[in-house]
Structure 1
Amino acid sequence: MNYSLQYGQIAADVPYILAGAWPTLWLTFVIFFASAALGLFIAMARLKGGPVAARAAGVWVTLTTNSPLFVVLFFLFNGLPNWGILLSPVAATLIAFIAISSGYLAEIQRGGILSVRASELDAAEVLGMSRLQTLRFVIAPHVIKTTYPALSNFFIFTMLGTSMASLVGVNELTGRAIEVTSRTFRSIEVFSLVAVTYVVLSLLASLALALVGRMLFRVKARVL
């Protein structure tokens, strides 16, 4: 069967498809920062919490890092309604992504916390800082700096992963591509455009993250 490329047939839909980059970026920012905050809390619980908190945090990390995102997303969106719990596509996406991502980010940030020198913590204690102040002014800045390259890569990984949100009907970049494909039947043209768009977004994000890293920490952030 011969297939000839006809990009002209999707020309009118190109602006609509490309506009899907905005919900993609919105999802990325919300998921990443919420996951990072939750991950830092979990990492602190594993290292500084009591036996119960440390064990609970460890169980959470084990469950989330060994659970397929696809399965969790479908369970939240298609399984919970059987018990009368209805989630919107966006809500199911956010919960699934944040839950899974928090486990991975907790381990990344735990490594950063372990790299904090004991002398810095001792100095914070001598200055009379509370645990919250120590976390905010001593631990968090150090963790962000030491784990910045890994966090930068995870940000891009999250952005690319948001394409899975289309599986539950979220109208982001991939979701719009699926919609246009079902109407025009020009799958190669549509998804080649989407693939290029993701590459451009990734490269721009890599550049922006590298520049931020150099300005804030004066380090060369190695990102994708």
Structure 2
Amino acid sequence: MDYTFQFGPLVNYLPQFISGFWLTMLLAFVGIFGGIALGVGCAVASTLPGFLPRFLVRCYVEAMRNTPLLVQIFVIFFGLPNLGVRMSPLTSVVIALVLNNGGYIAEIVRGGIQSTHRSQVEAAESLGMTYFQTLRFVILPPALEKVFTPVVSQCVLLMLSTSLVSAIGVEDLTGAAMIASSETFRTMEVYLVIAAVYVLMNFVFRAILNLAGLLIFRRSRRNLFRGI
């Protein structure tokens, strides 16, 4: 193999890489926290009495978990205009990321809620707590703490999946790399650099989410003990 690595030409594309990096970070944070909020809400809705809430949540979760994210992006960006709904590429990918992450988080959190022992619920009911008070103070805090590790893993996977948004012209980190690669023909160098950046972002996101979980659940346990 007679290949000489040349990273010099990539210096000219540093502004595009930086811009793409920050856009990737923004998309990841919106997708993660928007998806967590949506997922927790859907998980709670799946525990409500009545057939309709559970049925609607199940349809949504199965649709998100059994179709590729790229297809979901295409449906929103290319499909909805046929129904008269037009959105910018950035808006389309934000909606797709939130919906996709929400579907996975909903199923994870639902498992945590169902793992709560029935005796805890009965104890809350004997104290006169309403259903939503029981959810807020008795069921959700320990359930979220139990499933926090898989939630973090899912959120990191979503961050990596943001690379798919370049398929509809959004210039995230991967989109910037595609432009640099097509103009410099230094494909190996471009994607090695981008891969290293994604690895770094992986560690950064895991550290931020784990630190947030540590602070949230420590405060939650402290408040619980004070209440007792």
Structure 2 matches for 1:2-81, cutoff 5 A?
3-81=3-81
Bigger mean CA offset, 191-200 vs 169-178:
169-178
The yes-or-no answer on 1:82 pairing with 2:107 is: no
Instruction: State the alpha-carbon separation in 2 of the partners of residues 86 and 23 from structure 1.
Output: 22
**1:4 alignment partner, SS class:** coil
**1:101 alignment partner, SS class:** helix
Aligned-residue offset at 1:121: 2.4
Q: What's the TM-score once normalised by structure 1's chain length?
A: 0.86
For 2:134, the equivalent position in structure 1 comes to 134
Bigger mean CA offset, 206-215 vs 164-173:
206-215
Structure 2 matches for 1:207-218, cutoff 5 A?
207-217=207-217
**1:47 alignment partner, SS class:** coil
Alignment deviations for residues 13-58 of structure 1 (CA, whole Å, 9 cap, x no partner): 2243034222212111111122222222222222223112212222
Alignment deviations for residues 172-208 of structure 1 (CA, whole Å, 9 cap, x no partner): 1111112222332222221111100000111222233
The percent of aligned pairs where both chains have the same amino acid is 39
Instruction: State the alpha-carbon separation in 2 of the partners of residues 121 and 110 from structure 1.
Output: 16
**Cα pair 1:174 1:194 within 8 Å, conserved:** yes
**Cα pair 1:67 1:100 within 8 Å, conserved:** no
The yes-or-no answer on 1:152 pairing with 2:181 is: no
Aligned-residue offset at 1:133: 3.1
Structure 2 residue identity aligned to 1:8: G
Aligned-residue offset at 1:216: 4.3
Instruction: State the alpha-carbon separation in 1 of the partners of residues 210 and 82 from structure 2.
Output: 45
**2:129 alignment partner, SS class:** coil
Instruction: State the alpha-carbon separation in 2 of the partners of residues 34 and 21 from structure 1.
Output: 20
Bigger mean CA offset, 42-51 vs 66-75:
42-51
Aligned-residue offset at 1:69: 1.3
**Cα pair 1:18 1:197 within 8 Å, conserved:** no
For 2:117, the equivalent position in structure 1 comes to 117
Structure 2 residue runs of 5 or longer lacking an equivalent are 219-228
For 1:192, the equivalent position in structure 2 comes to 192
Aligned-residue offset at 1:214: 4.2
Alignment deviations for residues 112-131 of structure 1 (CA, whole Å, 9 cap, x no partner): 10122333323433444333
| Pair 1:48–1:213, CA change in 2 (3 A) | same
For 2:176, the equivalent position in structure 1 comes to 176
| Pair 1:49–1:34, CA change in 2 (3 A) | farther
For 1:104, the equivalent position in structure 2 comes to 104
| Pair 1:35–1:83, CA change in 2 (3 A) | same
For 1:222, the equivalent position in structure 2 comes to none
Structure 2 residue identity aligned to 1:17: F
**1:122 alignment partner, SS class:** helix
Q: Aligned residue pairs: how many?
A: 218
Bigger mean CA offset, 52-61 vs 10-19:
10-19
Aligned-residue offset at 1:217: 4.0
| Pair 1:98–1:141, CA change in 2 (3 A) | same
Structure 2 residue identity aligned to 1:6: Q
For 1:205, the equivalent position in structure 2 comes to 205
